[in-house]
Amino acid sequence: MADNPNPDLDLPETTAPAEKTKRKGIKRRIFLAGSALVVGGGIFGVWWTDSSVKAKGNALIGGEGKPAFGSILTIAEDDTVTVFSPHIDFGQGSHTALAQMLADELDADWSKVAIEQAPADLAFANAALAKGFLPTMAGETLAGLIPDAVIGMMARSMPLMITGGSSAIRFTGEIAMRRTGAAVRAALLAEAADRLGVPERELTTADSVVTHAKSGKSLRYGDLAAGAAQRSLASDPVLKARDQWKLIGQPVPRRDIPAKVDGSAVYGIDFTLPDMRVATIAAAPVRGGTLESVDEAPAMAVKGVEKVIKLPDAVVVIGSGYWPATKGLQALSPKFTDGGHAAVSTPAIYAAQGKLMAGGKPDNEAGEGDVEAAFGAANAKLVEAEYRVPFLHHAMMEPFAMTGHFKDGTLHLWGGMQDPLSTRAKAAKAAGIDVEKVVFHPMIMGGGFGRRFPDMVEIIDQVAVVAKQVPYPVKLVWSREEEVRHGTYRPQSSARLKASLKDGQITAMRMDYAQSGNAEGEVPFIYNLPAASRRHFAYQSNQIDGPWRSVNATQIGFYTESFMDELALAAGADPYEFRRKHLPEGSRHLKVLDEVAKRAGWGTPLPEGVGRGIAIVESFDTIAAEVVEVALKEDGSPKVLRAFAVVDCGTTINPLNAEAQIAGGLIMGLSSAMGEAVTLDKGAVVESNFADYPILKLADAPPAVDVHFIDSGAKTGGIGEPGLPPASPALANALASLTGKRIRNLPVLAQAKA
């Protein structure tokens, strides 16, 4: 196994960096923090009590004439309700949906509801996320024994303020926003009852007004807020029933769109300060390499260049603007080591993964039933297949850009990251200062998809170190080439699947897969089989791979759903009907599968030269099934003609935004399957920009995506990521139906050229 290419991650030698993806990192840290709290590990003496934290949080967002509640909202004298979201906006629309959930329970006037980003302070550590993720790690029983106040301390001890894992709505929305809205409404009712001298049961609320019908009297929320803020909020308030919702479930327009359309929205790459300089950077081409030497003179000779800074593994050029800094950087000829990784290549990784699965020992196995006995049974028909998927880049529209200013012992940072609190902590460590001396100003992001988790982002350390060496503000901008070649990619992965068939039914299935991330506990196996096994073989290259939209569901979904089509073919069955036979009768999965088949007209004749494929994957507590129809262009490359998605996420909070998220995930899944791949040669990334890392063009995208939701009333699931995993197997299955050629290795275009 390669050495840890980023020692700041503090990984055990036997653990792959990708197993410290933010999603996995959250779970691990919650588990460890929970264990410490349960056994009296000392966190009580380190972190504030819940009441102290809420008081500080309320002070940070509230003020004269604007009392705050639970560090989540304020109510001004003019009835304006401002909701503070602990989640960052990078286009997913969660700010609007979270505000909808709170405002509905509060019975607020939606026209007077505003949404703002919560400050990057420990007072806003997201306890709802800790509470949401905890049952997965510690089990339902243990999780239920830990009081909310202790969970709050756990969230601050991590610290936890992430945006990822499709967690905003299903955890923060359900656990924090709805409950806070209901609790504040109860406090307003209690205050109104005292002022009017009437029983609470005689009062009603609507549009930010409390009304007493018998007397005809009413009080606005703005009149009541100051008094209500002095009352204790109920920890377990009564929530509205579904038939009482007014905002939840409605297609409310997103509040962030107008500023993005008119250009007034400010991203990290747009940010400016007086007297600011701009820097750019070149890191070692081979991850794990170091800077040997560089002659600064050629850069300093470029007009506008002011300083060259050497880092252990990179060189930074600071100029009066981005172009002078870029020209200065291009004038340099730095020499880097390869860190001992010169032999690493894409084919070598696949070969090593194959060898590991053939003779290595799995580090994790899940499933039930006797797989080997089924494989050895008389008259069992065995089917085997091998699959491979490459590293994938996040391909954010906005490359990394972060501004730092070190002044009077305090480091100020401006930029877009998916965890503001961890950004502060990482910057403090890099700068060698106390975390309280770091002020991070979170900004909206031009894309993220898992790329902007601080644990895997070098720019935070780079800005912290550079800012301490100059007296002025400096914005560090990564070029597109730097961003592509130094990503934290979706893991390159290999899989071997084997199944036995008897009388047209699967009697057993095994999936072995080798990669850095373990999918167990994250990607459910949805089929009802007598025996099933999934074994993970941990493998790590010199790359830092990490969470990519839908995390491991994208690989596991491609493997499982492609193989299901291969098994259907071997059984002489229709792929849709074959899946139906292996899903529990009356299950949510079966209903989703049936609905997408119905909407896509499964079984109806197709025009000549058109193939149809289907796939279903559960991820983030949401079930998504998709059908795509594909044809071949004159050059032999695929063209998706139509796409259908049916989704059961329990409850659809904002259908307008949810539809956009599912359609966007499907398109991203098609793009990644079609042509995207990060490849390695001599330890370094080959691709450098969109010219050789092709994103699906508008002309090649389906003209429309038919998205339908089934509101089952089940536990609310995620929405930002589940639309992606079924897309690649649905595409591969459609191509196999059309051409008779099975695509087992992605991307599709690379196989077509082979």
pLDDT digits (tens, 9 = 90+) for 313-349: 999 999 999 999 999 999 999 999 999 999 999 999 9
- Other CB atoms within 10 Å distance of the CB of residue 461: 18
CB of 128 within 8 A of CB of 88?
Answer: no
CB of 666 within 8 A of CB of 705?
Answer: yes
Mean pLDDT value across residues 478-484: 97
Give the model's confidence band at 49: pLDDT under 50 very low, under 70 low, under 90 confident, else very high. Answer: low
pLDDT in tens, 720-741: 999 999 999 999 999 999 999 9
Closest C-alpha to 627, from 606, 655, 608:
606
Distance CA 557, CA 198 (A): 58
Reported residue count of the chain is 754
Give the model's confidence band at 35: pLDDT under 50 very low, under 70 low, under 90 confident, else very high. Answer: very low
Distance CA 221, CA 189 (A): 9
Give the model's confidence band at 247: pLDDT under 50 very low, under 70 low, under 90 confident, else very high. Answer: very high
Mean pLDDT value across residues 484-512: 97
The phi, psi pair for 646, rounded to 5°, reads -125, 135
Mean pLDDT value across residues 364-369: 95
Pull the structure tokens for residue 495: 């899989």
DSSP β-bridge partners for residue 531? none
**CATH no. for 277-339+400-477:** 3.30.365.10
Q: What does 711-746 look like in DSSP terms, one character per residue?
A: ----S----SSTTSTTHHHHHHHHHHHHHS----BS
Confidence (pLDDT) at 47: 42
Distance CA 32, CA 154 (A): 9
The SS3 assignment for 500 reads strand
Is the model more confident about 16 or about 437?
A: 437
Distance CA 284, CA 21 (A): 22
Mean pLDDT value across residues 260-265: 95
Domain ranges of the chain: 50-262, 277-339+400-477, 347-391+489-753
Whether the ω angle into residue 747 lies within 30 degrees of 0, i.e. cis, is yes
pLDDT in tens, 383-420: 999 999 999 999 999 999 999 999 999 999 999 999 99
Pull the structure tokens for residue 669: 């899944």
Confidence (pLDDT) at 751: 82
Q: Where are the alpha helices (DSSP H) in 376-469?
A: 420-431, 458-467
Is the model more confident about 23 or about 329?
A: 329
pLDDT in tens, 266-314: 999 999 999 999 999 999 999 999 999 999 999 999 999 999 999 999 9
pLDDT in tens, 81-123: 999 999 998 889 999 999 999 999 999 999 999 999 999 999 9
pLDDT surpassing 90 at residue 138: no
Strands (E), 64-141: 68-69, 73-75, 81-85, 113-117
Topology of domain 50-262, per CATH?
A: Aldehyde Oxidoreductase; domain 4 (3.30.365)
pLDDT surpassing 70 at residue 479: yes
Q: Residue 531: left if φ>0, alpha if ψ -120 to 50, beta else—which one?
A: beta
The pTM for the full model equals: 0.93
The phi, psi pair for 426, rounded to 5°, reads -65, -40
Confidence (pLDDT) at 16: 34
Residues in Cβ contact with 333 at an 8 Å cutoff, skipping those fewer than 6 apart? 294, 295, 298
Topology of domain 347-391+489-753, per CATH?
A: Aldehyde Oxidoreductase; domain 4 (3.30.365)
pLDDT surpassing 80 at residue 21: no
Confidence (pLDDT) at 31: 46
Q: Where are the alpha helices (DSSP H) in 206-270?
A: 221-228, 257-262
Closest C-alpha to 84, from 53, 125, 129, 51:
125
Confidence (pLDDT) at 52: 85
Percentage of the chain modeled with pLDDT above 70: 93
- Other CB atoms within 10 Å distance of the CB of residue 521: 12
User: DSSP letter at 173?
Assistant: I
pLDDT surpassing 60 at residue 37: no
Percentage of the chain modeled with pLDDT above 90: 87
Distance CA 46, CA 48 (A): 7
pLDDT surpassing 80 at residue 34: no
Pull the structure tokens for residue 30: 């919650």
pLDDT surpassing 90 at residue 537: yes
CA dihedral 432, 435, 439, 443 (to 10 degrees): 100
Confidence (pLDDT) at 17: 34
Pull the structure tokens for residue 330: 């291009």
Pairing of the two strands 291-293 and 305-311: unpaired
Confidence (pLDDT) at 54: 85
Distance CA 121, CA 61 (A): 11
Confidence (pLDDT) at 754: 57
Closest C-alpha to 491, from 557, 539, 560:
539
Distance CA 328, CA 342 (A): 28
Strands (E), 391-504: 401-407, 410-415, 438-442, 474-477, 493-502
Distance of CA 524 to the CA centre of its chain: 18
CA distances from 282 to 331, 476, 487, 669, 682 (A): 12, 11, 13, 30, 18
Distance CA 93, CA 447 (A): 12
Give the model's confidence band at 40: pLDDT under 50 very low, under 70 low, under 90 confident, else very high. Answer: very low
Which amino acid, residue 584?
Answer: P
pLDDT surpassing 80 at residue 12: no
pLDDT surpassing 60 at residue 26: no
- Other CB atoms within 10 Å distance of the CB of residue 682: 13
Distance CA 273, CA 266 (A): 13
The SS3 assignment for 615 reads strand
Q: Do the domains spanning 50-262 and 347-391+489-753 agree at the CATH topology level?
A: yes
CB-based contacts of 370-376 (< 8 A; 24+ apart in sequence): 370/508, 370/531, 371/508, 371/509, 371/510, 371/531, 371/532, 371/533, 373/508, 373/531, 374/500, 374/507, 374/508, 374/530, 374/531, 375/498, 375/500, 375/508
Which amino acid, residue 321?
Answer: G
CA distances from 205 to 378, 612, 679, 754 (A): 69, 52, 59, 66
pLDDT surpassing 80 at residue 524: yes
pLDDT in tens, 634-674: 999 999 999 999 999 999 999 999 999 999 999 999 999 99
Distance CA 258, CA 262 (A): 6
Distance CA 526, CA 416 (A): 36
Distance CA 587, CA 580 (A): 10
pLDDT surpassing 70 at residue 435: yes
Distance CA 699, CA 633 (A): 12
CB of 171 within 8 A of CB of 128?
Answer: yes
Confidence (pLDDT) at 255: 95
Pairing of the two strands 73-75 and 68-69: antiparallel
Residues in Cβ contact with 419 at an 8 Å cutoff, skipping those fewer than 6 apart? 22, 160, 161, 162, 163, 453, 454
pLDDT surpassing 50 at residue 44: no
Strands (E), 591-663: 611-619, 622-632, 638-648
DSSP β-bridge partners for residue 550? none
